[in-house]
Amino acid sequence: MRRDIFQAIADPTRRAILALIAVQAMTPNAIAEHFNTTRQAVSKHLKILSECQLLKQQQQGREIYYQLEIDKMKEIDQWLEQFRTIWESRFEQLDNLLDHLKNQQK
Amino acid sequence: MKHNLQFDFLADKVKNTLTIRREFKAHRQLVWDCYTQRELLDQWFAPKPLTTKTKTMDFSEGGHWHYAMIEPNGTEYWNWMAYQKIKPIDYYTACDAFANEAGDLNKDLPSSDWLVSFTDKGDNTLVETIVTYKSLSDLETVIQMGMEPGMIATLEKLDELLLLLNR
């Protein structure tokens, strides 16, 4: 089973959960209240997010609070940055080509 | 060479789009030509150190560009860009898919929709490319599949940079 950050954010409910707990740590019950799906469905999403290492768990008394693992989220940005580099390289070549064509026209 | 040309790279993780805006120091017709003529595309489209090779190209609505990006060791990655709407020298839309040399599309690999628009910015030209994937994980597959092998050197440099920045 694939368990990485892309699996985590592939689902709209999981993205919504991440947005919720990015603001504050929450219990599973409090998270579930924000969704029209069943508690079980939310639990399943939380399990996947845990397996993707996006959740930090904190025990407070009897309750477990979930918090966002921010460092893990940064992986997405780093990965996107790689894509940016590819485009930069492509555009630099186009700059050179345009320079060359302009010189020919003169 | 340092320049002050605009370059925006925006990822929308909800809509699964990449918006890439780049300014070029040339007038619109010339930039348009570079995007739409095979002998010019071959000179820039594949990022270094890969090179571009065109097999067939028919830049018209319903036409296509069948091209390969080639690694220095000779490995070829074939793609098929199907053109949909074209309004010279304003914009065109297309669907980019993986293919083989014979031109059979690979349905197992993710395709992406492209909207490429050209506008004047003073004497320069601004090109906006909006690439839409079906999901963000599709985009990941594209990276891993597509240009990775040839990009490793660049990416390693980037990794070093990120390490430095994260300290």
* Domains, chain B, ordered by start: 7-166 (3.30.530.20)
The answer, for A84 touching chain B at a CB cutoff of 8 Å, is yes
- How big is chain B, counted in residues? 167
**What's the pLDDT at A15?**
78
User: Total structural domains in chain A?
Assistant: 1
ipTM above 0.90, yes or no: no
- Would the pLDDT of A38 be above 50? yes
Decide if A8 contacts A72 (C-beta within 8 A): no
Show the tokens assigned to A76: 């997405």
Query: Which pLDDT tens digit goes with each residue over A6-16?
Result: 677 767 788 78
Q: Which of B27-41, B80-94, B128-142, B145-159 has the lowest mean pLDDT?
A: B145-159
Give the largest CA-CA distance in chain B: 51
- B141 closest CA partner among B131, B130, B133: B133
**What's the pLDDT at A74?**
73
Give me the mean pLDDT over the B57-76 stretch.
Answer: 92
Which pLDDT band holds residue B72 (cuts at 50, 70, 90)?
confident
CATH code of the domain covering residue A80? 1.10.10.10
Name the residue of chain B whose CA is nearest to A86's CA.
B47
Show the tokens assigned to B26: 């040339």
User: Which residues, in sequence order, are CB contacts of B157 under 8 Å at separation 6+?
Assistant: none
Q: Do A98 and B46 touch (CB under 8 A)?
A: no
Other Cβ atoms within 10 Å of B25 Cβ, number: 15
Decide if B69 contacts B54 (C-beta within 8 A): no
- B83 closest CA partner among B105, B58, B114, B62: B62
Which pLDDT band holds residue B145 (cuts at 50, 70, 90)?
low
Show the tokens assigned to A93: 């070549």
Show the tokens assigned to B61: 């609505």
Percent composition of chain A: helix, strand, coil (DSSP 3-state, to 5): 65, 10, 20
Q: Which of B12, B38, B40, B44 to mutate to test the interface with A (most CBs of A within 10 A)?
A: B44
* DSSP-assigned letter for residue A84: H
Tell me the average pLDDT of chain A.
84
Q: Which of B10, B14, B20, B157 to mutate to test the interface with A (most CBs of A within 10 A)?
A: B20
User: Which residues, in sequence order, are CB contacts of B3 under 8 Å at separation 6+?
Assistant: A95, B25
* DSSP-assigned letter for residue A10: T
- B99 closest CA partner among B126, B79, B69: B79
Tell me the average pLDDT of chain B.
81
The boundaries of the domain holding residue A64 are: 5-105
Give me the mean pLDDT over the A57-85 stretch.
Answer: 81
User: Which tops the pLDDT comparison, A20 or A51?
Assistant: A51
**How far is residue A57's CA from residue B113's CA, in Å, rounded to a whole number?**
40
- CA pseudo-torsion sign B135, B140, B144, B150: positive
User: Which residues, in sequence order, are CB contacts of B120 under 8 Å at separation 6+?
Assistant: B27, B28, B126
Decide if A34 contacts A46 (C-beta within 8 A): no
Closest CB from A84, A89, A94 relative to B9? A84
- Would the pLDDT of B48 be above 90? no
| Global confidence as pTM | 0.68
